[in-house]
Structure 1
Amino acid sequence: MQDIVRPIDQCRVCGHNDWLDVVSFGSTPLAGNLLGPEDDPGEETRFPLEVVVCRECHLMTLRHVIEPDVLFGHYRYVASDAGSIVQHMRRLVDLCTRRLGLTGQDLVVEFGSNTGAHLELFQQAGMRVLGVDPARNLAEMANDRGVESIPSGFTAHVGREIASGHGRARLVYGRQCFAHIPDIHEVLDGVSALLAPDGLCFVEVPYLVELLANNQFDTIFHEHLSYFSLGALCRLFESHGLRVVDVQTAEVHGGSIVVFAAPAAADPEVRPSVTDMLAEEQRQGIAEERTYRRFAERTERLRTQIRDLVRGVVADGGTVAGYGAPTKGSALLDACGLGRAEIRFCSDTTVLKQGKILPGSRIPIWSPEQAAEQVPDYYLLLAWNYAPEIIEKEKAFLENGGRFIVPIPEPRVISAETVL
């Protein structure tokens, strides 16, 4: 096990080793490690899942790191094609194109590029694109769709190789992957090696302030190593000669921030959004230990409330299924002690997941077509970050008497007579 999982010995942002214990979920299976029906549950490996905060820079992080190839060598998370996500990706393409004045001669590189869906939008806008992703199966899917992608982690060596073969990039970015990476300094070394002097880098990450304020304990699982505030990211970028020049909020994945940085040597202008958000973080108590203790207390309360609500429905003769099978849904079920006795199946549109079984809980994942043959009384909305879209889409389910249980930020039941 020691060659697969190890405790962290210092903060990956600032290098200090003074931790505040926040919350422990015990030992849990890898939430994204979907199983086949033939797999033996007795062989399922569990890993410690403990959360701590650096008292120096206030990075929230997992105490243990799992070997990346175990997590991402064959990855089943496929970038969502939900309307809100596609709109968000298009906005980022338009914003970056306008801000940098991108043309057909410019290179755009994405690390953690998944299936290439976002890079494809830059490609359609006329830019040269290149993706880098450690998941070999996803890089292959990207290449199949015509988006050149390298099956690799993004390192200083990879950055230099790309610069040598393709030229410097005007834009280097990573969406919803930066929090997964153990050695973020190596990634930023790669950015520095590849980014043009007049270029821009951005990372999009789930926002720590939103996680704490909205009780998003289900977003804590082994793939998510880091939970970033803007202050921690500013400190990190500065250590690599990059200056955070802008930050924008995004209503995706439960609330995220898009943080833009430019080479400090170019003396770039810093927009007021940066100082405004840093000041707001102080008002929200990011630097105060009681903020994290209160989050831990609410997490314990919510785990009990969600479990009791679902078990109460079943005890009264109702049936419950999961809507969506995201990684955080698997994490929520495990954290709340829910399994096959309470949840009959999870319905998910991702073909790669259908026919698989959730780790730990052993709940089967069905296609929407299969789920339509055994409609439950209640759907536990595991993909709660898409709640408005899903509830609008499933009006017929509600009108026929069905109900949704929305677990986050507080468990509540949605029927045809109620609204979000």
Structure 2
Amino acid sequence: MTRCRLCGSQATASVVDLGATPPCESFLAAGQLDRPEPTYPLHLRVCTDCWLAQIPPLITPEETFTEYAYFSSFSTSWVEHARAFVADAVERAGLGPEAFVVEVASNDGYLLKHVVDRGIRCLGVEPSVNVGAAARDAGVPTLTAFLSPETGSAVRAEHGPADLVVANNVYAHIPDVVGFTRGLRSLVADDGWVSIEVQHLLTLIEENQYDTIYHEHFQYYTVASAIRALASGGLTLVDVELLPTHGGSVRLWARPDGVAGEPSRRVADVLAREKAAGLQELSGYTEFSARVAKVRRDLLRFLVEAAERGETVVGYGAPGKGNTLLNHCGIRPDLLPYTVDRNPYKHGRYTPGTRIPILPPERIAADRPDYVLVLPWNLRAELAEQLSYVHDWGGRLVFPIPELSIVEGTS
């Protein structure tokens, strides 16, 4: 990477180098196992001028998102999170029956279905053909497209300006930060609102969440770098919320520059926390690589020692973050014979790079393993409850992040 994709600076510093891995959602069918599998460097750097953390754009969004393996509705807690967000957004933005809501990267309609239920006109803009089709089947109007300034203008011309534009867990997924932000501005009404949820670099660094670094995520934001990114498209940050989702996310509330006004006190508070953590100087990043190496050593030690004792360890979940972890640690079927997932799309497929079989969840109860390694650790509370049956035969749950944790009982 030669230049920062936000400010154009060539002043970048290494944060952590995770080697080379396949794209995290490129699950393999059985017929692909004897074919070559492309891998790409996964090296996080930070711009020392604007402090946007980023990886090189070695793959395109079209390669990843034209057909996508992730369906949001399979997470019960995530659907509830969306329902609560819609209730809050309707009140904050004063959305009445004449309002219009657009969600960018709307996936399978998990969020907009709550807007539909309220009788509010809405449209999803979703690039993945397969999940967009699922949204339309669920009654959520959905346009199959990537957002650009031109797409935003076309939607505005056909449907009118949006009173609220939602962009949850997509702001990290686009290499053209400036173009995407201008697309958001072209969608939103001059007195409207934009809401963005994205993982917070502060918690990623503090909690060793390096497995959320993967090729779909081109950049990683602090509130400070997000303010600069929003400004590139004519949007001003007016409020911020810290969320527990994905291990620690930030919800950014922005408005067009002309109506934004002064930001809330919460914006200043989070900026102060980021500064205190050293994230606007290199000191905040220098220890991260060593802590990542310890996570790897601890997990491998546990798996090897369990194998030597003759104990069985299987996986739960096949999320993108799990594939970063598995590839970085070099975990293969000899240490993790399979993982399971609730998403039927993944059944019968194999994890990219590590080629671990993905099976239906019922396989765990049938095999009664000694340990279940939970790869979507960010859903710990939800999954600890779902997997409580593992304790019936004395099995234990294992969470690898932020540090190795072996859980007995339902805690």
Q: TM-score, normalised by structure 2?
A: 0.97
CA offset at residue 239 of structure 1?
2.4
The residue aligned with 1:263 is 256
One-letter code of the match for 1:290?
Answer: S
The residue aligned with 1:53 is 46
The residue aligned with 1:22 is 15
Given the alignment, which residue of 57, 67, 82 partners 1:74? Answer: 67
* 1:65–1:182 CA contact under 8 A, matched in 2: no
State, as a whole percentage, how many aligned pairs show the same letter.
35
Please list every run of 5 or more consecutive structure 2 residues that lacks an aligned counterpart in the other structure: none
Partners in 1 of 2:136 and 2:405 — Cα distance?
Answer: 43
CA offset at residue 394 of structure 1?
2.2
Q: How does 1:187-202 map to 2 (within 5 A)?
A: 187-202=180-195
Aligned residues: 411
1:178 lines up with 2:167 in the alignment: no
One-letter code of the match for 1:60?
Answer: A
CA offset at residue 43 of structure 1?
1.0
Partners in 1 of 2:81 and 2:327 — Cα distance?
Answer: 30
The residue aligned with 2:375 is 382
Partners in 2 of 1:80 and 1:385 — Cα distance?
Answer: 16
Q: Deviations over 1:183-239 (max 9, x none)?
A: 121112112222111100011001100000000011111111111000001111122
One-letter code of the match for 2:109?
Answer: G
Given the alignment, which residue of 309, 312, 318 partners 2:311? Answer: 318
* 1:49–1:64 CA contact under 8 A, matched in 2: no
Partners in 2 of 1:294 and 1:37 — Cα distance?
Answer: 40
The residue aligned with 1:107 is 100
One-letter code of the match for 1:108?
Answer: V
Q: C-alpha root-mean-square deviation of aligned residues, in Å?
A: 1.4
* 1:180–1:224 CA contact under 8 A, matched in 2: yes
One-letter code of the match for 1:59?
Answer: L
Partners in 2 of 1:130 and 1:195 — Cα distance?
Answer: 13
One-letter code of the match for 1:307?
Answer: L
Going from structure 1 to structure 2, the CA distance change for 1:311 and 1:129 (only over 3 Å counts) comes to same
The residue aligned with 1:238 is 231
Partners in 2 of 1:233 and 1:290 — Cα distance?
Answer: 20
Q: Secondary structure at the match of 1:50?
A: strand
* 1:249–1:256 CA contact under 8 A, matched in 2: yes
1:137 lines up with 2:133 in the alignment: no
Q: Could you tell which deviates more after superposition, 351-360 or 60-69?
A: 60-69
* 1:249–1:257 CA contact under 8 A, matched in 2: yes
Q: Secondary structure at the match of 1:386?
A: helix
The residue aligned with 2:149 is 156
Q: Deviations over 1:73-114 (max 9, x none)?
A: 211011144343222212211111111110121110011111
Partners in 2 of 1:389 and 1:99 — Cα distance?
Answer: 28
1:342 lines up with 2:335 in the alignment: yes
Q: Could you tell which deviates more after superposition, 185-194 or 170-179?
A: 185-194
The residue aligned with 2:201 is 208
Partners in 2 of 1:83 and 1:282 — Cα distance?
Answer: 35
Partners in 2 of 1:375 and 1:11 — Cα distance?
Answer: 49
Q: Could you tell which deviates more after superposition, 114-123 or 74-83?
A: 74-83
Partners in 1 of 2:211 and 2:339 — Cα distance?
Answer: 16
The residue aligned with 1:397 is 390
CA offset at residue 267 of structure 1?
4.2
Going from structure 1 to structure 2, the CA distance change for 1:87 and 1:391 (only over 3 Å counts) comes to same
Partners in 1 of 2:330 and 2:73 — Cα distance?
Answer: 27
Q: Secondary structure at the match of 1:131?
A: strand
Q: Could you tell which deviates more after superposition, 392-401 or 157-166?
A: 392-401
Runs ≥4 residues deviating over 6 A: none
The residue aligned with 1:5 is none
CA offset at residue 324 of structure 1?
0.8
* 1:107–1:127 CA contact under 8 A, matched in 2: yes
* 2:73–2:110 CA contact under 8 A, matched in 1: no
Please list every run of 5 or more consecutive structure 1 residues that lacks an aligned counterpart in the other structure: 1-7
Given the alignment, which residue of 268, 274, 285 partners 1:275? Answer: 268
One-letter code of the match for 1:402?
Answer: G
* 2:72–2:110 CA contact under 8 A, matched in 1: yes
Partners in 1 of 2:153 and 2:57 — Cα distance?
Answer: 30
1:228 lines up with 2:221 in the alignment: yes
1:290 lines up with 2:287 in the alignment: no
One-letter code of the match for 1:78?
Answer: F
One-letter code of the match for 1:190?
Answer: G
The residue aligned with 1:94 is 87
Q: Deviations over 1:220-279 (max 9, x none)?
A: 111111110000011111222211000001111111010010011124342111111111
CA offset at residue 11 of structure 1?
1.5
Going from structure 1 to structure 2, the CA distance change for 1:103 and 1:294 (only over 3 Å counts) comes to same
CA offset at residue 15 of structure 1?
2.0
